Structure 1
Amino acid sequence: MIKIGDTLPSVTLQEYSEVEGEGCSIGPNPVDVSQAAEGKTIALFALPGAFTPTCSAKHVPGYVDHFDDFKAAGVDEIWCLSVNDAFVMGAWARDQKTGTKVRMLADGSGDFARATGLTLDLSARGMGVRSTRYSMLVKNGKVATLNIESPGKFEVSNAETLLAQAKA
């Protein structure tokens, strides 16, 4: 399992980006995690699935609402990862009105989740293997803080906890 001080896994995620104008989108586009994280401070949070109740009602909105606070604390980007495809993540981004505040990154095959050891088997609920709910502060590609939720909980991966760590 990934831990503080470890480098993020070298995998490629996918991003489906909204563009100005007719509501058209661009993508899916590959995002090389190593290159995208280089030289940046990133507030990264991951969750079991797009459009799920806790993720949509609490997790994503907290990071969108605290975008300016994260920027003031020195965070360059906020990333949301989920084991969903890029089209679902793009639709969820529109639904959650993340705009340019939160990068909605698809870990469609679960490569990032498996590489970090942060998987959650929801096969009994018809959802397959997903990501555990967690957050981490990443500095220049290395994990600076890591907050892993217990199954079914939403207590330590919220925006407020990671923001406090970014300010410290």
Structure 2
Amino acid sequence: MVAVNDKFPTETKFVYVPITPETSDIKACGIPGPLDFDKEFADKTVVIVSIPGAFTPTCMENHVPPFLEHLSDLKAKGVDVFIVVAANDPFVMSAFAKANKVSDDSVYFVTDPDAELSKKLGFTLQLPPGFGLRTGRYALVVKKGVITYVGNEPGSGLTVSSYESVIAAL
């Protein structure tokens, strides 16, 4: 499992659908493309919040919204980029961003294809048949490629990966 002071896994590639004026409607689909963590964010402070699934009760109602509501507080603490990640397909993650009214260009809702990053970190979640392997519920703070906070939820609650825990760690 990953720990504080570990290097963030190199060659991490997410899949991302940028929201443009032409694709801002929730019914509009953009074109997915790779988002290379090393190229885009190597010199930045990044908060990554992983959720088991977009549009699920805890993720939609309690986990992601506080981060978005307090984005200015994260930025005041030095955060350059906020990423929400799940194993959902990139079109679902794009719709999830739109449903959350994301318009800030420092916020990304991305796909962890086949939960590869989460596997490397040791933070996957095996759900019952029909739901399959998912990204676990966790939060990371990565500063210039080094992990400075790890909050992997020990159960089904929302504690160490919450907004309150992450902001306190910054």
| TM-score (ref. length: structure 1) | 0.92
Partner SS, residue 152 of structure 1? coil
Q: Which residue of 2 aligns with 1:107?
A: 112
C-alpha spacing 1:22/1:49, structure 2 compared with 1 (3 Å): closer
Q: What does 1:15-26 correspond to in 2, within 5 Å?
A: 15-21=16-22, 23=24, 24=28, 26=30
| Counterpart-to-counterpart distance in 1, 2:81 and 2:59 | 19
| Counterpart-to-counterpart distance in 1, 2:117 and 2:141 | 16
Partner SS, residue 151 of structure 1? coil
Pairwise CA distance, 1:152: 0.8
| Counterpart-to-counterpart distance in 2, 1:106 and 1:22 | 18
Pairwise CA distance, 1:125: 4.8
Pairwise CA distance, 1:11: 2.2
Q: Which residue of 2 aligns with 1:40?
A: 44
| Counterpart-to-counterpart distance in 1, 2:43 and 2:163 | 22
Paired residue for 1:95, among 70, 94, 99? 99
| Counterpart-to-counterpart distance in 2, 1:111 and 1:33 | 14
For the pair 1:130 / 2:134, whether they are aligned, the reply is yes
Q: Which residue of 2 aligns with 1:4?
A: 4
| Counterpart-to-counterpart distance in 2, 1:97 and 1:150 | 30
Partner SS, residue 78 of structure 1? strand
| TM-score (ref. length: structure 2) | 0.91
Output the aligned Cα RMSD: 1.5
| Counterpart-to-counterpart distance in 2, 1:21 and 1:91 | 14
Runs of 4 or more off by more than 6 Å in structure 1?
A: none
2:48–2:85 Cα contact (<8 Å) kept: yes
| Counterpart-to-counterpart distance in 1, 2:166 and 2:34 | 26
Partner SS, residue 156 of structure 2? coil
Q: Which residue of 2 aligns with 1:162?
A: 166
Counterpart residue type for residue 112 of structure 2: D
Q: Which residue of 2 aligns with 1:121?
A: 126
Q: Percent of pairs identical after alignment? A: 32
Pairwise CA distance, 1:25: 5.0
For the pair 1:30 / 2:52, whether they are aligned, the reply is no
Segments of 5+ residues of structure 2 without an aligned counterpart are: none
Q: Which residue of 1 aligns with 2:151?
A: 147
Pairwise CA distance, 1:102: 2.4
Pairwise CA distance, 1:55: 0.2
For the pair 1:76 / 2:77, whether they are aligned, the reply is no
1:48–1:130 Cα contact (<8 Å) kept: yes
Q: Summarize deviations over 1:105-142 as a string: whole Å, max 9, x none.
A: 111311111111111111x2521111111111110111
Partner SS, residue 32 of structure 2? strand
